[in-house]
Amino acid sequence: MAEAAVKATELEKSFGEGGARTYAIRGISFEAYFGEMLYFVGPSGSGKTTLLSMISGILKPDSGVVTVEGKDIWGLSANEIADFRLNKVGFVFQDYHLFPKLSTVENVAIPLILKKQDWDRSLKTAMEFLEVVGLTDRASLPPVKLSGGEQQRVAIARAIVSRPDILIFDEPTASLDGVTGKRILEFVKKNILNDNRCILIVTHDSRIFEFADRIIGMEDGRIVKIMSGGEIEG
């Protein structure tokens, strides 16, 4: 397979102390590759979001190593980790997290503004990425004027506007009907995934399993199964 974008080795994470300690991640190891769409599935509380928080530089593991593009991210300084999150990772949240008082194009431009890019240049780049997701005609509208599927595509444009290598989706179809959800994932597979990007997705939605390259099944903080795309059993 292609070069590994992410490698996790013997990750452990717990919360609380003494008898109240809860183990969220227990000795997890896996690799994710450039050009791959990798899903993490399992019941609530199985550790999926905790795992991706450690991979993305948000939550430090108790032990184990996360390497992204060959670099141990938890060996970085606090400032270096902040730069990593800003430049290497893009997030698409379950609830989109769009700013209601900003226009669509302004929402997409936010990561560029955070990188201290000129406002006019940021808006111009944001328009280019709205074109990627087919929403240039909605650029001046506030999020409330958009459908759920359109808001999801705005969130995708915002996540990729700074050209991250790692793209993380948290329950991308949770707020969408089945048809719209499948259209969004088909769009992502065809237009957003490429040989220089790795996409990691947390989902409960078996209707979109067909778009995965691989599916990692989790229970009680452990990996219990690795399946090929579209395979639910076996």
Give the 3-state DSSP-derived string for the chain, with helices as H, strands as E and coil as C: CCCEEEEEEEEEEEECCHHHCEEEEEEEEEEEECCCEEEEECCCCCCHHHHHHHHCCCCCCCEEEEEECCEEHHHCCHHHHHHHHHHHEEEECCCCCCCCCCCHHHHHHHHHHHCCCCHHHHHHHHHHHHHHCCCHHHCCCCHHHCCHHHHHHHHHHHHHCCCCCEEEEECCCCCCCHHHHHHHHHHHHHHHCCCCCEEEEECCCHHHHHHCCEEEEEECCEEEEEEECCCCCC
Domain ranges in the chain are: 4-228
- pTM score: 0.88
Assess whether pLDDT exceeds 90 at residue 98: yes
pLDDT bracket for residue 10 (50, 70, 90): very high
State pLDDT tens for residues 157-183: 999 998 999 999 988 888 888 888 898
Provide the token pair at 94.
Answer: 């379950």
- Rounded mean pLDDT, 207-218: 94
Mean pLDDT of the chain: 91
pLDDT bracket for residue 145 (50, 70, 90): very high
- Rounded mean pLDDT, 9-38: 94
pLDDT of residue 225: 93
- Rounded mean pLDDT, 125-141: 95
State pLDDT tens for residues 62-90: 999 999 999 999 999 999 999 999 889 99
pLDDT of residue 233: 45
Assess whether pLDDT exceeds 60 at residue 234: no
**C-alpha dihedral, 184 to 189 to 191 to 197, nearest 10°:** 120
pLDDT bracket for residue 93 (50, 70, 90): confident
State pLDDT tens for residues 191-206: 999 999 999 999 988 8
Cα–Cα distance, 84 to 144 (Å, whole number) = 31
Classified by CATH at the fold level, domain 4-228 comes out as Rossmann fold (3.40.50)
Assess whether pLDDT exceeds 50 at residue 46: yes
- Rounded mean pLDDT, 44-73: 94
- Rounded mean pLDDT, 213-226: 95
Q: Percent of the chain scored above 90 by pLDDT?
A: 75
